[in-house]
Structure 1
Amino acid sequence: MRVDIYRRSEAEGRYSHLAVPEGKPIPQEAINTDWNCEHRAVERDETQAHWNDLGIPEPGRQLRDKGYAITSVTEQPRR
């Protein structure tokens, strides 16, 4: 699946990531003015159990259920 990846700064030098299907807007419940586009039209395997580099568990389920996938609070990566 091709997705657009957004990121925002969190406390202690950590980041959250948000993945939405390519070309789709960020869903209303996830709109936040500090999301910055990191990558557009990235091919990702949504059947993976976890996107480790983004700290996103169950990306396929999240994309199907919510229309986006987001970093778990407990897994915010450092950059």
Structure 2
Amino acid sequence: MKVDVYKRPDTDGLYSYLVIPHEKPLPQEVTNTDWMMHEQDVNFEGNGNGRKHFTLEPDDAFRQIGEKGYAISHLCDRSRDAGLSN
């Protein structure tokens, strides 16, 4: 699945990530926050290797996308590494 990845700074230098299917608009419920484009057209596949993408587990991200159209980092999975990528 191709996705676009947004990030936003949180408290204490941590970052959250938002993943949406490529070329889909930001969901209305997140448009009034500080999301910045991080990467576009990223190949984001749940390949079962346990690898995280932008602090998101692929299986969890695909579940979230299926439920609400986007995936977002859990509070406990935020990262200090703003350059974290797949």
Matched ranges for 1:1-79 at <5 A: 1-46=1-46, 48=48, 52-57=52-57, 58-79=60-81
- Structure 2, unmatched stretches of 5+, are 82-86
Q: Greater strand percent: which structure?
A: 1
SS at match of 1:34: coil
Query: Matched residues in 1 for 2:72 and 2:31: separation?
Result: 12
Query: Matched residues in 2 for 1:66 and 1:31: separation?
Result: 15
What is the TM-score with the length of structure 1 in the denominator? 0.87
Identity of aligned residues (%): 35
SS at match of 1:19: strand
Alpha-carbon contact 1:7-1:37 (below 8 Å) kept:
yes
Aligned residues: 79
What is the TM-score with the length of structure 2 in the denominator? 0.80
